[in-house]
Amino acid sequence: MLTKRWNIHQENPDYQAIREAAELLRDGRTVAFPTETVYGLGADATNEAAVSGIFRAKGRPEDNPLIAHVATKEQLRSLVSTLPSVAEKLLDQFTPGPLTVVLPSNGVCAGNVTSGLSTIGVRIPEHPVARELLKACDIPVAAPSANISGKPSPTTADHVWEDLNGKISGLVDGGSTGVGVESTVVDCTQDVPIVLRPGGITKEQLKAAVGSVMVDPALANTEESPKAPGMKYTHYAPEVPMWLVAGTPEDLQAIIDREQDGQKRIGAMVSTATADKLQADRVIQLGSDLREIAASLYDALRIFKNGDVDLIVCETFPQTDIGQAIMNRLKKAATSYVDK
Ligand code: AMP
Ligand code: MG
């Protein structure tokens, strides 16, 4: 399959390119596009065959439902059987933006979007290219992250190209995404909203908006099976084994020294502050605060290819603010968790 690629400047979208991409989506094809979180791989959410194309291209397990993306709250309403007031409050406060609400589906979207569940996840993204594309095609667009299943999510068009060139019909290159980790998924089918996946909107922000918020117990306890089916899969994995190390920079250095003595080449993934105190074969600086670290995380997880280093050592981060999402992803990406 030939993958058509368009380059678009966020501030000055090329409407002809957006119309072409929208036409492909309306025609039942798969098109990747930027959102403010990560790149999504879109297809017409009302067309079962089109949606199958997403699962095929990504190699995504069929029991992992997709998020439907829409341009407006009215369009969101047209996909659900009820819109409880708590969901409405969250939507008014945080959308367009990195929030996905899970609500009872009314069956307008194809059955494979929801993997047969009675609920559907819906999001109104904020990225100008995503918004223009959704407006131009005027259909709900099912869109998971535009990566091969199991790999880190794409935050640049080149990441998408690396994974999906030749497997999808189009790629709208709108530059780097902003937030860097996926949307927060919130189940709004009960009285109290439940965070199923931490993401761009933090639990503290949700609480400030609606009072009580619960967190899916499976996020803290690996014995429980998660309510968001996708959360049970290995995800975000770099090509090289990665140890996630809870400890001081000195603890990290001791592990690096020991493994180097065992003839391993070590790549370190750490904050700017820790990088100043560390020596390894290669050091990737993720940034100086949690927002910067989130934005650079997936690119960093893709940097080391097989053979570059033998082991990645990554430090842990405080689970405050977007740190919850960062640590959730790092725990899934790591082959071992080392608590010093
Ligand atoms: P992705 O789009 O690849 O970032 O993944 C979407 C995430 O949302 C996965 O973890 C899905 O399991 C979750 N999700 C999507 N729809 C639902 C739903 N109806 N109920 C619960 N989780 C969902
Ligand atoms: Mg994904």
Task: Calculate helix-pair angle for 290-303, 157-164, nearest 10 degrees.
Answer: 30
pTM: 0.96
- Split at pLDDT 50, 70, 90, the class of 308 is very high
CATH topology identical between 4-181 and 242-339: no
Could you tell me the distance, in angstroms and rounded to a whole number, from the CA of residue 328 to the centre of ligand 2?
A: 13
Could you tell me the strand order of the sheet in which 31-33 lies? Answer: 4-7, 170-173, 31-33, 40-44, 141-142, 67-69, 119-123, 99-104, 184-187, 194-197, 214-215
Instruction: Tell which one of 145, 196, 329 to mutate to probe ligand 1, the residue whose CB is within 8 A of the most ligand atoms.
Output: 196
Higher per-residue pLDDT: 37 or 230 = 37
Establish whether residue 64 lines the binding site of ligand 1, counting it when its CB lies within 6 angstroms of any ligand atom. Answer: yes
Instruction: Please tell us whether the domain made up of 4-181 is placed in CATH 3.40.50.970.
Output: no
Tell me the per-residue pLDDT of 86-118, one tens digit each, with 9 for 90 and over: 999 999 999 999 999 999 999 999 999 999 999
Domain boundaries along the sequence of the chain: 4-181, 242-339
Q: Which residue is it, tokens 């992250």?
A: 145
Ligand 2 is an ion; residues with CB less than 5 A from it = 145
Nearest to 297 by CA among 311, 310, 284, 313: 284
Q: Is the pLDDT of residue 230 over 90?
A: no
- 3-state DSSP assignment of residue 284: strand
DSSP annotation of 127: -
Best CATH choice for the domain 242-339 from the list 3.40.50.1370, 3.40.50.300, 3.40.50.11030, 3.40.50.740: 3.40.50.11030
Query: What confidence category does residue 223 fall into, taking pLDDT thresholds of 50, 70 and 90?
Result: low
Tokens 């939507």 belong to which residue? 91
Mean pLDDT of the chain: 95
Distance of alpha carbon 37 from the chain centroid:
6
Contact 256, 313 (CB under 8 A): yes
- Is residue 231 pLDDT above 80, yes or no? no
